[in-house]
């Protein structure tokens, strides 16, 4: 495949918004690109490739993501779990590939990650992971959380912690949606997520909800 084409299973995709040539960048785009290259991300990668079309947005959104990933007081296990939940729900190949190693490094069990990948409710999570999972799963299903889930989350994380969990969730929903629209390619050689049954049937969609309550997985 060319550098702008990539495969998921038997389906080929064309990167709709590939990396912009350096000489094609305007002054603002060049400034933002240099900041990304010199910052903790080390380059214009993943979602920031399509986002560079809107340099003011990539600057502001990038700072939010930088805080959530590198500056937040949220426990790394919880942060990476929430990130994987969103990546799986949106079947975003790039974020899944990038964050599985980070999740393992943070201490999340491989069985938990495998369950998420297969659209199953994970077993064997820590108490804080279970609560964070319930918050995200309920938020995905109902666009809110019930009083019991809210109280459990407040007890486990406090108000600031819960706000940061929801902010990580929302940030990666935004990032995943941007890459899904742009068909941003995952890193070469990564382990890819499976399609849901709905996605396999239509083949016009690359992504579908993947929490077990919504997906209906094909074998």
Q: What is the pLDDT of residue 190?
A: 61
Q: How far apart are the first and last CA of the chain?
A: 27
Q: Which domain holds residue 75?
A: 5-215
What pLDDT, on a 0 to 100 scale, did the predictor assign at position 191? 62
If one counts the domains in the chain, the total is 1
pLDDT at 59: 86
Q: Are 164 and 136 in contact (CB under 8 A)?
A: no
The per-residue pLDDT for 22 is: 87
What confidence score (pLDDT) does residue 14 get?
80
| pLDDT given for residue 195 in this prediction | 52
Do residues 100 and 113 lie in contact, with contact meaning Cβ atoms separated by under 8 Å?
Answer: yes
Two tokens, residue 73: 């007081």
CATH number for the domain harbouring residue 85: 1.20.1290.10
Compute the distance between CA of residue 167 and CA of residue 27 in angstroms, rounded to an integer: 31
| Residue pLDDT tens, the chain, 219 long | 445 765 555 555 688 999 999 889 999 999 999 988 888 778 889 999 999 999 999 989 988 998 998 899 999 999 999 999 999 999 999 999 999 999 999 999 999 999 999 999 999 999 999 999 999 999 999 999 999 999 999 999 999 999 999 999 999 999 999 999 999 988 776 666 665 433 433 333 333 333 333 333 222
Q: Which residue has the tokens 């239509």?
A: 202
Please give the structure tokens belonging to residue 35. Answer: 């900041």
Q: Supply the pTM of this predicted model.
A: 0.82
Name every residue whose Cβ is closer than 8 Å to that of residue 150 and which is 6 or more positions away in sequence: 162
Distance CA(9)–CA(97), nearest Å, equals 15
Cα distances (Å, whole numbers) of residue 214 to 89, 145, 182, 209 = 9, 17, 24, 6
């Amino acid at each position: 495949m060319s550098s702008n084409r990539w495969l998921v299973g038997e389906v080929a995709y064309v990167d709709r918004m590939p990396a912009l040539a350096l000489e094609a960048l305007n002054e603002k785009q060049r400034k933002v690109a240099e900041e990304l290259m010199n910052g903790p991300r080390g380059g214009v990668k993943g979602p920031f490739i399509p986002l560079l079309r809107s340099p003011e947005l990539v600057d502001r959104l990038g700072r939010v993501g930088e805080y959530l990933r590198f500056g937040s007081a949220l426990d790394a296990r919880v942060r990476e779990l929430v990130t994987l939940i969103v990546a799986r729900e949106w079947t975003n190949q790039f974020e899944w590939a990038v964050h599985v190693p980070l999740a393992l490094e943070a201490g999340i069990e491989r069985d938990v990650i495998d369950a998420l990948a297969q659209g199953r409710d994970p077993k064997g999570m820590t108490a804080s992971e279970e609560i964070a999972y319930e918050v995200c799963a309920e938020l995905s299903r109902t666009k809110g959380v019930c009083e019991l889930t809210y109280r459990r989350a407040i007890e486990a994380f406090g108000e600031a912690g819960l706000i940061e969990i929801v902010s990580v969730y929302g940030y990666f929903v935004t990032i995943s949606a941007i890459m899904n629209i742009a068909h941003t390619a995952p890193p070469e050689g990564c382990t890819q997520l499976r399609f849901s049954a709905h996605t396999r049937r239509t083949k016009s969609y690359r992504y579908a909800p993947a929490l077990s309550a919504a997906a209906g997985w094909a074998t």
